[in-house]
């Protein structure tokens, strides 16, 4: 079967499912003009709704600001720990083996404590990101429901779940405009507070960097067996589920 008949078949099958009438679909395919009137299913690009709206951009900007702060903190903490480890290594000739092991163990415990606290903060940032996205779509649901009622539709699906559709049933741009009009200046759009136990700094309040924001400090612990210490680096397309 050639590509064109396949596309026409796909359009006919999908059009029949969406518009509920073979004759109407055949006419639309023949003329290239979509019949007016309500449709049963609408589509939306959820990712674009989130990242393209001012409301979503505000939430993402807040998360990004935290990521940048944590990146800076990571670099500072890693530098401090490396300096501390280097100082301990330089002091080694002046220390007894017992005293060196004692200080090396204390340093290792400090590094582990800092790493644990920053890992907790990393989880906290990830949770905030998830909660923020959920908050966004919860706020957008009434807006999407209103559009659905206006169009006489029964459902909205993500375009990623649709093989082929007419552009008329996509409401992404309309939804973005309405979300911007109704929610862009909402004072309650700050990211949820997902901080929990363990996010506090062990020594001077150190925190964890989110994945991809720069590795949390990773400093090689001072050797306790007499070895030297060493530091390490810290269109007509559619596409999942309805919002």
Q: What is the pLDDT of residue 71?
A: 85
State residue 155's pLDDT score.
Answer: 92
Q: Does the structure show a pLDDT above 60 at 233?
A: no
- Cβ neighbour number for residue 99 with a 10 Å cutoff: 12
Write the pLDDT tens digit of every residue in 181-227.
998 776 555 555 554 443 334 333 333 333 344 444 444 444 344 43
Predicted TM-score (pTM) of this structure: 0.57
Domain boundaries, the chain: 1-36
**pLDDT by residue (tens digit) across 99-155?**
999 999 999 999 999 988 888 888 899 899 999 999 999 999 999 999 999 999 999
Average confidence score pLDDT of the chain: 72
Sign (positive/negative) of CA torsion 175, 172, 50, 133? positive
Among candidate residues 138, 113, 126, the one with its CA nearest the CA of residue 195 = 126
Residue (of 239, 241, 223, 240) closest to 100 by Cα position = 223
- Tokens matching residue 118: 């920053």
Asked whether the beta carbons of 133 and 243 are under 8 A apart, the reply is no
Which residues face 158 on adjacent strands? 44
């Amino acid at each position: 079967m050639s590509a064109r008949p396949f596309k026409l078949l796909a359009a006919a099958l999908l059009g029949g499912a969406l518009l509920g009438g073979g004759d109407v679909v055949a006419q639309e395919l023949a003329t290239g003009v979509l019949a007016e009137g309500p449709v049963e299913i609408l589509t939306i690009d959820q990712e674009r709704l989130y990242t393209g709206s001012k409301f979503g951009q505000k939430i993402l900007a807040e998360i990004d600001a935290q990521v940048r702060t944590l990146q800076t903190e990571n670099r500072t903490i890693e530098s401090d720990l490396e300096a501390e480890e280097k100082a301990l290594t330089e002091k080694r000739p002046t220390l007894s083996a017992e005293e060196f092991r004692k200080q090396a163990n204390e340093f290792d415990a400090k590094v582990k404590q800092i790493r644990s606290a920053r890992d907790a903060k990393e989880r906290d940032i990830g949770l905030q990101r998830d909660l923020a996205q959920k908050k966004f779509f919860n706020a957008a649901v009434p807006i999407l429901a209103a559009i659905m009622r206006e169009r006489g539709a029964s459902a909205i699906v993500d375009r990623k779940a649709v093989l082929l559709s007419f552009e008329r049933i996509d409401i992404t741009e309309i939804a973005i405009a309405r979300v911007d009009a109704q929610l862009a200046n909402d004072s309650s759009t700050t990211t949820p507070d997902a901080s929990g136990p363990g996010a506090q700094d062990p020594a001077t309040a150190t925190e964890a960097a989110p994945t991809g924001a720069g590795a949390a400090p990773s400093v090689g612990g001072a050797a306790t067996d007499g070895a030297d210490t060493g530091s390490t680096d810290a269109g007509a397309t559619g596409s999942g589920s309805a919002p």
